Amino acid sequence: MIVTIKKDAPASEIKEAMEAIAREKATRKGFDAKKYAGKLKRGFDGLAYQKQQRDDW
């Protein structure tokens, strides 16, 4: 959403634009990354893998 506010816009127009942004944010659906936190099936220890990768440098 793009909102253009001119220099000489009255305060009421600015307030309307801010309310439109707030309404748009409230209705927007996004990607819920927390749903997948800690769900990776790796089959190995993450710390050991990290140490192995650092040793390869």
pLDDT reported for residue 2:
79
Q: Where are the domains of the chain?
A: 1-28
User: What gap in Å lies between CA 10 and CA 54, rounded to an integer?
Assistant: 58
Q: Are 38 and 15 in contact (CB under 8 A)?
A: no
User: What gap in Å lies between CA 41 and CA 51, rounded to an integer?
Assistant: 19
pLDDT reported for residue 27:
72
Is the pLDDT at 30 greater than 80? The verdict is: no
pLDDT reported for residue 12:
92
**Does an H or E element contain 22, and which?**
helix 11-27
Is the pLDDT at 45 greater than 80? The verdict is: yes
> Percent of the chain at pLDDT above 70?
89
Is the pLDDT at 57 greater than 70? The verdict is: no
A 10 A CB-CB count for 16 gives 14
User: What pTM, to 2 d.p., does this model score?
Assistant: 0.42
